[in-house]
Amino acid sequence: MTSEQEALLDLSAALPRRRPGRISSGPAVSATAGADPVVLPVARVLVDSGLAHLDRPFDYAVPAALAEEARSGVRVKVRFSGQDLPGFVIERVAHASHPGRLAPLRSVVSPEPVLTPEVLALARSLAQRYAGTVGDVLRLAVPPRHARAEAALPLDPPLIEATPPQASAQAWLRYPAGEAYLERLEGGGHPGAALLLAPAMRTAQDWPGAFAEAAAAVLRSGRGAVLVVPDHRDLSRADAALTEVLGPGRHVRLSADQGPQARYTAYLKVLRGHVRVVVGTRAAAFAPVRRLGLVAWWDDGDDLHLEPRAPYPHTREVLRLRAGLEGAALLTAGYARSCAVQRLVEEGELASVEATRRRAATAHVRRADEGSEDAADPLARAAHVPTLAWRTAKAALAQGPVLVQVPRRGYLPSLSCRTCRARARCPQCAGPLALDGPHGPLSCRWCGSLATSYACPTCGDPRVRAAAVGARRTAEELGRAFAGVPVQTSGAGVVLDVVEPTPRLVIATPGAEPRAGEEGYAAALLLDAWSLLDRPALDAGEEALRRWLGAAALVRPGSQGGQVVLCGAPTGIVIPAVEALLRWDPVWAAERELADRRDLQLPPAGRMATLTGTRAAVDQALAALELPPGATLFGPLPLARSEQSRALIRVGEQGAEALAQSLRELRAQSAARKDPSPVTVRMDPADPTA
């Protein structure tokens, strides 16, 4: 069997032949010369080749001039297939894995050991789980080098008090198990908890305070913490809470949008031991915290936790794997609970932590069709803003701001024929036509072309009506209805963090709702509920409930007059997401959804993989793929509005590892053959049906 090193020396089958005389700038060193084991003249390098079939370490000789700097974890340049490529030294050994000659390291890019053994082990585990390559994971985990940041940061940590001062656990007082959880963290334990948040207007009692107090407890045990949030608004709140609880200089924020120097400086502060608490977005999940004691993430259902680059890991799985490898505690929190977290609770990996008398902290939630006027008038029930919603908003504006959640951005994002109600489609690409303003021409949301002479292809009528109303049109309507009341919008590029707690209308798309100070909103209108529920996605109901609860949590408690009105929910059928909102019981909804998915063996009860590409390429891949026992194949079927096809593979948890390995081998074979149309492989896609 050909060894890995022989594959490096003879790459003619897969890569261009090396040019003579361009292997190195110095003489090669023989690995069989009986070198002193103390010197360790061989470096094993993980080369960033970008090729799946070469995702393994290769041996290189260490020149004497680089012997001190070429330590494990440092960045190096090596000669590989006739070109200089970057890589990481993962270990130094006394002997190579084959009796041939070794090419030497070209250079050490930096003596900083940026790749720690813990991060490398995590990268390997993620590559196995997601059928990816270690190189792909390391591109997500280790930020690019910035020489100026490296030189500016002192090597030695600053002199600060070893442990933070003892602080009162204000955010955990409402949770019976909260005090015990913090005690276990402070005692060096590694408990797992799924915290179901009760609404709180003050940061000290909200989730940022809970995360900061958990991090403080871990610091007092002599360990570190990694806290991950979805976006920059959440990051700012968590950053402020950590500064207040821990004091200045005890934590660092790390996110991909910081800029090269700021991000690399934050990474180095953690690597060199300046701080042991990190808060950030997805990129922070890989921060090389010393003696990791806690990993936590906020709002598991937010799609920003899903990495859009290969191998497409989810923050939850990154932190779970890391906690298992390093013996750290787990903490996830949210106003809603995803099916994936509910499965971990039912399997005992996480303990459910809920507040006592949670309903006392929540607003009073009603459906719009509960009003007597709306119940008697079907046209009122179908209105964009029903009668009960108008009356609630009018009364609440005397007490404070009113939040209006609109599922769609824009003006009129969806149109239909006024006569036959057929959807208005673009004559060029069949995309949906929309109106960007009250007087603008119809335009396609896909290709952007203008439909200046549109006529319905079914009945010929050139007139259109609104099939969905966007945030800007809603703001226009409400501004006319409540003359003299200030109207603010949040979303679609302009996202507000906070609004004044004075009477005003705040129109926001889901996820862009600003907070209204410590007082909260007097009321909230959740418009067009059908739009969130009607999405063609597996998690439509789960996502709708998460969005509604996130908005409703910003409203004052019912004891202080806080009101939430759900508008546009379908009638005549029981919808778990709607019932869970009315009862404020997301656990019931998660339990029911998980039970349904278990019956159908859908994620997270089962694991799924997708193969996407041309029909011929997918057929070829499936013919070469060895499916594990119990796996079920669906398709391949053509994708809508695309020339590609997709195949789904469903497997139980027992066969998931074997399936991931088979998919990794499939990718390696395709890369070695240099297939002109390779298939895209994804394990655990967010929505297999999308």
- Distance of alpha carbon 587 from the chain centroid: 22
Cα 197–Cα 234–Cα 518 angle in degrees, nearest 5: 65
Burial 341-374 (b: 16+ CB within 10 A, else e): bbbbbeeeebbbbbbeebeebbbbbbbbbebeeb
pLDDT of residue 427: 81
- CA-based nearest residue to 215, from 90, 128, 329, 95: 329
What ranges do the domains of the chain cover?
Answer: 4-113, 151-359, 362-598, 607-683
Distance CA 61, CA 25 (A): 13
Question: Confidence band (pLDDT; 50, 70, 90) for 14?
Answer: very low
Give the DSSP letter of residue 494. Answer: B
Element (H, E) at 92: strand 83-93
Give the DSSP letter of residue 193. Answer: E
- Distance of alpha carbon 166 from the chain centroid: 33
pLDDT tens column, 596-609: 999 988 899 889 99
pLDDT of residue 30: 35
pLDDT of residue 370: 67
Sequence letter at residue 610: T
Q: Which of 6-15, 41-50, 244-253, 636-645 has the lowest mean pLDDT?
A: 6-15
pLDDT of residue 3: 42
**CA–CA distance from 285 to each of 100, 141, 177, 288 (Å)?**
40, 8, 26, 9
Secondary structure class of 319 (helix, strand, coil) = helix
Q: Please, where are the H alpha helices in 429-504?
A: 471-481
582 and 367 Cβ atoms separated by less than 8 Å: yes
pLDDT > 90? residue 346: yes
CB-based contacts of 11-20 (< 8 A; 24+ apart in sequence) = 11/81, 13/672, 14/51, 14/53, 14/54, 14/671, 14/672, 14/674, 15/81, 15/82, 16/81, 16/82, 17/82, 18/79, 18/81, 18/82, 19/82
What CATH fold (topology level) applies to the domain 607-683? Alpha-Beta Plaits (3.30.70)
| Average pLDDT score over residue span 646-655 | 91
What burial class does residue 167 get, using C-beta atoms within 10 Å of its C-beta: 0-12 exposed, 13-18 middle, 19+ buried? middle
Question: Confidence band (pLDDT; 50, 70, 90) for 161?
Answer: low
pLDDT of residue 552: 95
pLDDT of residue 409: 75
Question: Confidence band (pLDDT; 50, 70, 90) for 162?
Answer: low
- CA-based nearest residue to 631, from 598, 614, 615, 653: 653
307 and 313 Cβ atoms separated by less than 8 Å: yes
pLDDT of residue 373: 53
pLDDT of residue 379: 46
Our CA dihedral for 106, 110, 111, 113, rounded to 10 degrees, sits at: -110
Q: Which of 26-35, 311-320, 485-494 has the highest mean predicted lDDT (pLDDT)? A: 311-320
Q: Cis check for the bond before 576: say yes or no (omega within 30 of 0).
A: no
**Alpha-carbon Rg of the chain, whole angstroms?**
28
Q: How many residues does the chain have?
A: 690
pLDDT of residue 13: 34
Q: Which of 167-181, 219-233, 612-626 has the lowest mean pLDDT?
A: 167-181
Compare 280 and 386 and report the one with higher pLDDT.
280
pLDDT of residue 690: 63
pLDDT of residue 295: 98
Element (H, E) at 238: helix 232-246
- Token digits of residue 284: 């922070």
| Average pLDDT score over residue span 611-631 | 91
Sequence letter at residue 253: R
Place of tokens 């003619």: 12
* Helix, strand, coil percentages for the chain (3-state, nearest 5): 35, 20, 45
CB atoms within 10 A of CB 32: 12
Q: Average pLDDT of the chain?
A: 86
- Distance of alpha carbon 187 from the chain centroid: 31
Question: Confidence band (pLDDT; 50, 70, 90) for 482?
Answer: confident
Percent of the residues in the chain that have a pLDDT greater than 70, as a whole number: 90
Please indicate, yes or no, whether the overall pTM of this predicted structure exceeds 0.75.
yes
pLDDT of residue 689: 65
Place of tokens 């209006």: 404
Q: Which of 327-331, 453-457, 627-631, 665-669 has the highest mean predicted lDDT (pLDDT)? A: 327-331
Distance CA 118, CA 121 (A): 5
Kindly provide the residue ranges of all beta strands, DSSP E only, lying in 448-575, ordered along the sequence: 464-468, 487-490, 505-508, 523-526, 563-566
| Average pLDDT score over residue span 170-199 | 93
pLDDT of residue 218: 95
Q: How far apart are the first and last CA of the chain?
A: 42
Distance CA 196, CA 350 (A): 12
| Average pLDDT score over residue span 17-34 | 33
Q: Which of 289-298, 457-466, 665-674 has the lowest mean pLDDT?
A: 457-466
- Token digits of residue 183: 């005690």
Element (H, E) at 671: helix 653-673
pLDDT of residue 164: 66
Compare 469 and 228 and report the one with higher pLDDT.
228
Compare 358 and 224 and report the one with higher pLDDT.
224
pLDDT of residue 444: 83
- Token digits of residue 178: 């909260």
- CA-based nearest residue to 172, from 137, 202, 215, 204: 204
- Tell me the HSE value of 568 on the side-chain side, using a 13 A CA sphere: 21
pLDDT of residue 420: 81
Sequence letter at residue 393: A
Please indicate whether the domains covering 151-359 and 607-683 agree at the CATH topology level.
no
Distance CA 401, CA 40 (A): 69
pLDDT of residue 169: 72
CATH, range 151-359: 3.40.50.300
- Token digits of residue 603: 């994620």
| Average pLDDT score over residue span 370-379 | 53
pLDDT > 70? residue 421: yes
Question: Confidence band (pLDDT; 50, 70, 90) for 557?
Answer: very high
pLDDT of residue 110: 93
pLDDT tens column, 488-535: 999 877 889 999 999 999 999 999 999 998 889 999 999 988 888 888
